[in-house]
Structure 1
């Protein structure tokens, strides 16, 4: 029987319409807009100025602290301004604007590099390289990867590699696993060396049988790396849900995977680690799925960080006339965009174009106490209660009811027959609860 997590979960339509589309490389844009806050933690500090010439991979913003990350130039060109630019969440963030030099050969597509399997670096050198080269979690959370590797000796016994990609429509990780399987396996061995572990598990949902078969073939005879096929259930890709499914370990409330001896990395992150350690390449590009039922040519792309999303949409035939909403990410956890001029960041996994008939929400009605939101919550919470407490401004009580443990998967809103905006209120309640907790801690 296929493994899965025991609490809650849903089965939304998969709509993986780009799973058979190979990754294409998007040409370097004329201008890139590179935010300095593309990760959880302290924003990076800008170290370039207007009119400066920059090269591909040059550090343009330096890590602002331990939980922070360097930012590198994705193109060769000239810094034209340091400006405030709206990000995918609709907030203005400080940004480095670079005009690409069309004559510089570094902006052209590079030839495919030879596979390098021999790992020469010591664990401390690997951790430093990952920090220096700006590697963060590419599954969406964008947590600086070197922090996860800075653990006490013997604290970790297993590396979990997240190849689940349970969010509907998105196929960036799936295609990366199919096209870069050998590099990902080397990246896993690099991370195993950095952590000092001899065991790794790659978790992949069973709707990606081609990836499961490919990896099983690649790891044949390697006792240290295991491939685990998982039941298709959302949100299987959540760290706590994945650890529970693969290892049967329960991460404590408000705890971290390392509390149960595990470090989790997304397959995209693992590939970025391979590129950094084996080929001296900082994180300046990533795979992005551009998809939607009404698009002319939905595809997966290698995209340079800072590329305007409008360039991606143009590459798939433009925005159809019947479009109601454009989402950064997937339909469950993604954020609707106010403009297509916002840039791709390290955390941009996909762009979803939703037509008129599928984007409208039902009219919210009174809660009928059916309990469906409770049944599907993978964290065992009571979403209806958390929404009510937030509505009434009872934030301390909401915190007592564990609102901060919500992973914002959206399962509750998806199943609510009264179309209650549960997740919207819970997100707001979480933000206020965090502010209150920070204020209390500082007193």
Structure 2
């Protein structure tokens, strides 16, 4: 059981206040800070801090003793690699629109690009590793996103509400086939439009969105989002693609799960994100980075409808609880079908100092996001966890118990491997 020192990723879309404030550093930071990484990702692994203050890369620890750090089952299934990466995500501006491959697509794509001898760090490389990249994002503040294709009937209503001469034919196209196949046809048409056609259509769409917002139309939130994206990327087909996606506003504690093929775009807010330990991204647009349209179309899932929003399943950390004890009500588990990870949230209201057992089920990271926490192992070892701090619990360590350090509201997120 050791504290972690974690890497901060300074992407341009990040916030200059959120992560520094969480870590107790001066605000604002000199540059945007977008993500705080907790895990054993080769690009920026966490470092464990020993009792004497010395540090060692978590990646090195896992590679040196995969069974002790991960457990026999987890190490065997994932080839001695920690299968998940935990993050704090602080989005001040929209990210790129993207989707991630399934395990089979990633393995095939990686093999193909290796055979073509495309360097793994090349800008046109789609598959730097052979693994899937499902992810789940849980809001810490109000969090805004586009995710999954909206029901076609609602999208037809949106297109008609902002109809322009250039847009009318596309509404007719989807109206003739209001299903996933029709969405695929319209999406493909839009992201392959010649730049000259985009330069003619996009200003029409943006002007109509302005009018719709001024008139306080039914789709004002969606139109404001299109205007925001259009201002940053005035000649990008991704602005049109955004018209097809569900517009979501998550409250703190709410989460969405993004399986393989889900087209999504994080807009603004702070969240805890857990994902498979992979770098495989197929971008759609709203970015200067590489966009491979044929490969994107092979990966994107055009299933449509409302995007499920989770609040967490109440119960014990390691499974649903049949009881109604006070400790159960502190626990929320975000269930997915991802074998790489599971995310839980434990929360104490002010004045509650009850202790909760965290069962020993394999490698774990605990991240404190509010208040302070005392982590006590069954062998008597203790670690204090302050807001913004995290601790690594190897599989070989004894089980631990957690409780607040004081009477203030306390919150901790727990990342584990999925069913190994």
The answer to whether the superposition gives a TM-score over 0.5 is: no
Question: Which TM class, normalised by the smaller chain length?
Answer: under 0.3
Greater Rg over alpha carbons, structure? 2
Query: Which structure has the highest strand share of the two?
Result: 2
TM-score (norm 1): 0.22
